[in-house]
Amino acid sequence: MILLHGSEKIVERPSLAGGKAFNDYGCGFYCTREEETAREWACKNDTNGFVNRYEWREDNMRVLHLDDPEHTVLEWMAILLQNRIFRVSSAIARQTREYIVDRFSIDTGEYDAIVGYRADDSYFLFAQDFLDNAISLQDLGKALKLGELGVQTVLVSERAFEQLTFLGAEPVDRSEYYHRFAERDNRARRTYREMREKNWSGAFARGQVFAIDILREEMKSDDPRLR
């Protein structure tokens, strides 16, 4: 498998110790398989950057595919809630957060890599609104596909890094790709606002599931309403 890492610098020897604890899936090396996405990530701070290219041997790797239909959005949320800093605006939101983490968490320590939605920027806003009962679970699922913000592959074990080989790096010009990065994110936010305004009227009457419903009814991962 070819993995790409967009960065302001060339990263010949990535390491697990070099990751940040408060990223989406915790400490790890965050990559994508999409060339254009990697180029945009390389310039996201409005600087020139590099697309670092690697070969990763996936054989015998334990990979958690959070984008697989067997997993619910709440399992993605549970991991996010444990790693990212969330603003909790009410006691209900705080209780909901604790419930989701308690009932839907996956032990990521059993895996070498995680594949799932990225939560930076727009996606993080969507998750925050769900926790605040501003959008339903169904709308959260739709929001994750807005703007094609991408799925990331994150290496999270020393075993995974042992199978990673640096192939080279290509420079990326900020004058083209920072604009693309900003526009993709703005488009996702804009489309999300339109969807939220359109769907909010009568949302409760349509039987959609909100965070408070999950808490109040003590829903579990096998509840068909969560899929």
Tell me the pLDDT tens digit for each residue of 41-73.
999 899 999 999 999 998 889 999 988 888 888
Task: Give the per-residue pLDDT at 43.
Answer: 94
What is the per-residue pLDDT across 59-110, written as a single tens digit (0 to 9) for each? 889 999 988 888 888 998 898 888 877 777 788 888 989 999 999 999 988 9
Instruction: Report which DSSP code applies to 210.
Output: -
pLDDT at 118 over 50: yes
Sequence-distant (≥ 6) Cβ neighbours of residue 170 within 8 angstroms: 50, 51, 53
116, 151 Cβ separation under 8 angstroms: yes
What is the per-residue pLDDT for 30? 93
Query: Measured between alpha carbons, how far apart are the two ends of the chain, in Å?
Result: 30
- State yes or no: pLDDT of 148 exceeds 70: no
Residue 198 has pLDDT above 60, yes or no: yes
Note the pLDDT of residue 200.
57
pLDDT of residue 56: 96
pLDDT at 204: 53
The angle subtended at Cα 74 by Cα 134 and Cα 89, nearest 5°, is 35
- Looking at residue 147, its pLDDT comes to 57
Higher-scoring residue by pLDDT: 199, 108: 108
pLDDT band at 225 (very low <50, low <70, confident <90, very high): confident
Identity of residue 36 = E
Alpha-carbon Rg of the chain, whole angstroms? 18
Q: Model's pTM, two decimal places?
A: 0.84
| pLDDT tens, residue by residue, 157-190 | 999 999 999 999 999 999 999 988 888 778 777 8
Confidence tier at 203 by pLDDT (50, 70, 90): low
Rounded Cα distance, 30 and 161, in Å? 12
In the prediction, which pLDDT does 205 show? Answer: 47
CA distance 214 to 201: 21
Q: Is the predicted pLDDT of residue 13 greater than 80, yes or no?
A: yes
pLDDT at 141 over 90: no
What pLDDT does residue 121 have?
61
Phi-psi region of 186 (alpha: psi -120 to 50; beta: other; left: phi over 0): alpha
Give the count of alpha carbons within 13 A of 43, CB side only: 21
Q: Of 92, 189, 109, 115, whose CA–CA distance to 149 is shortest?
A: 189
Higher pLDDT among residues 217 and 200, named by residue: 217
- In this structure, are residues 208 and 136 in contact, taking their beta carbons and an 8 Å threshold? yes
Strand segments (E) across 8-99: 29-31, 49-56, 63-65
Taking the C-alpha atoms of residue 55 and residue 225, their distance in angstroms, rounded to an integer, is 40
Report the alpha-carbon distance of residue 3 to residue 10 in Å, rounded: 14
Q: Which residues pair with 56 in a beta bridge?
A: 164
Mean pLDDT of the chain, nearest integer:
85
Residue type present at position 143: A
